[in-house]
Chains A and B, each alone.
Chain A
Amino acid sequence: MIEVDKLGKHYGSLEAVRNVSFEIDDGEVVGLLGPNGAGKTTILRILTCYIFPSYGTARVNGYDIFDQALEIKKSVGYLPENAPLYTDLNVMEYLDFIAESRSLTGNTKSERIEWIIEECELNDVVYRSIDKISRGFRQRTALAQAIIHNPEILILDEPTTGLDPNQIIEIRELIKRLGKKKTVILSTHILQEVEATCRRVLILNEGEIVARGTSEEIWREMKGETILSLTLIAASSQDKLPVTDSLSGLEGIKEIIETSKLAKNRLALKLSLDPEADAEEAIFDWAVERGYKIISMIPKAFSLEDIFIKLTREGGENAG
């Protein structure tokens, strides 16, 4: 159980996290999604008691982040961003240090280390110096560090950065497997990551939560429209106003997201369409009627950028 209550953090004049509140139940796998600099890492650092918030508070596993940091640290496994490791130790020495720091001793310690080496597939590099192993092995060593003590809560900051596609799939499988028994909160800027692993999503932008809900809820809402990228020649006009004016009046067009003028009287538009109506046909007729020439008309999937443009434009929360 993680409860976050009106949390905020200033770094000098920059407000990295603003008034963020959310709750995560036991056994949930939740994704923090957002572009770089959205405040994901700051929130995770506060939850793991690495830093204190400037205002607000949070409870992790029922423990207060100010007064019961030690208890939180015991029940949490944390993979920091960029998988930091001691480069002058070998993998075994590192895991041994972490195990002992987690108060594992004797047989339990050796069993846990053996198990984690198996689970994270570190067999080939056990006695290799950490500065001489590949990025993939480093990431897995860092992940091993986070789960060696079988924590109730797992906090992972960008767990798949720097991995190749096969390794990414493996790590996601591992997270899913762990997520069956644990509370997991992970941050990422990759949309598919959330779709693949998380049940619920919090979308952050500029330190604020701009959307939240189950993955399905958010994607259904996002996928409730089609994006169309349209390029046309409006011979009669240097000005884009008459075009956009008449276009936005057409049925089935929800919004003109972007317009930009290209060379040779060409105009590029990005439109959001209602999937129920046959807007493409209407656009074609509209262009013929006015003597515009359509150069291209390409339907696009909603990208993360589109979601952000949309969410940040509307501002605040629009779901859940």
Chain B
Amino acid sequence: MPASIRPIVQKELKSYFNSPIAYIVIVTFLMFSSIWLFYLQQFFVMNVASMRVFFSIIPIVFIIIMPAITMRGWAEEKKLGTMEVLITLPYRESTLVIGKFLAGFCLLLIMSLLTLPLPLLLSRFGNFDWGEILSQYLGVLLIGAAGISIGLFVSSFATNQISAFLLSFFVLLIFTLISRVSFIFILPPWAAGFFNYLSLGFHFSSFQKGLIDTRDLFYYLIVIGLFIYMNIKALIFMKWS
């Protein structure tokens, strides 16, 4: 029996919270999204009992937040040399990758839970559709998880945190905003559809509107699974190089 996944998740979470990174990420996220909602979008002036505007900015914020969560991932292990300890402990490569992914997901979950007071407090001022809010939070967790899975994969090619952050940032930037190329260029419908299909941001829009579409759900699950799989393969490939 290989070792269980729990020690890895615990160790990663301890590393997050023993260093300033987790706090910086959470505070930045909460501050920016609140400023966006109340100051830039003038929530109270709009006079609509909906969190849609709040969630509309999430894919953009996550382009910066997710790489900050995952940049340590493998890059820091390589830099410290602890990769050698980790790989030679009795874990399967898949356990290591999924363990790191789950730790990142826990951080995402904590971050998301900390935004819950917003709709809870605001619900005093109007009738919110809680089904819509549920769908929006599901969307946040899915797009966030996809970002973590992509960021971790990218981090396995980087040799330090900074390059891991920048690389993941660019990959997520392209992946999120690729649907917008049809705003700039006139594209044939099939091409526009193709770019939309690839885009992390495009699939978020239905969750943001309160719709849970299985196509979008599957899209995110496939992205998450694919990058976790490639990450496992990348670890095995490193043994041969």
Contacts and interface: CB of A to CB of B under 8 A. Distances in A.
B92 A70 contact: yes
B3 A100 contact: yes
Interface in A72-111: 73-74, 76, 78, 80-82, 84-90, 93, 97-98, 100-103
A73 B89 contact: yes
Contact of A86 (B1, B8, B80): B80
Interface stretch (A24-32, A48-56, A251-259, A264-272): A48-56
A45 interface: yes
Interface residues of A, number: 31
B233 interface: no
Interface in B129-180: none
B190 interface: no
A163 B240 CA distance: 33
Contacts of A76: 88
Given A89-B18, A101-B91, A50 B84 contact: yes
Contacts, number: 84
B88 A86 contact: no
B19 interface: yes
B84 A103 contact: no
Contact of B15 (A48, A70, A88): A88
A145 interface: yes
Given A84-B80, A86-B80, A103-B3, A52 B90 contact: no
Interface of B: 1-4, 6-8, 10-11, 14-15, 18-19, 80-85, 87-92, 238-241
Interface of A: 11, 45, 48-52, 70, 73-74, 76, 78, 80-82, 84-90, 93, 97-98, 100-103, 129, 145
23 contacts: A49-B87, A50-B239, A51-B240, A70-B2, A78-B84, A80-B84, A80-B88, A85-B85, A86-B11, A88-B14, A88-B15, A89-B18, A93-B18, A97-B10, A97-B11, A97-B14, A100-B3, A100-B10, A101-B3, A101-B7, A102-B90, A103-B1, A103-B3
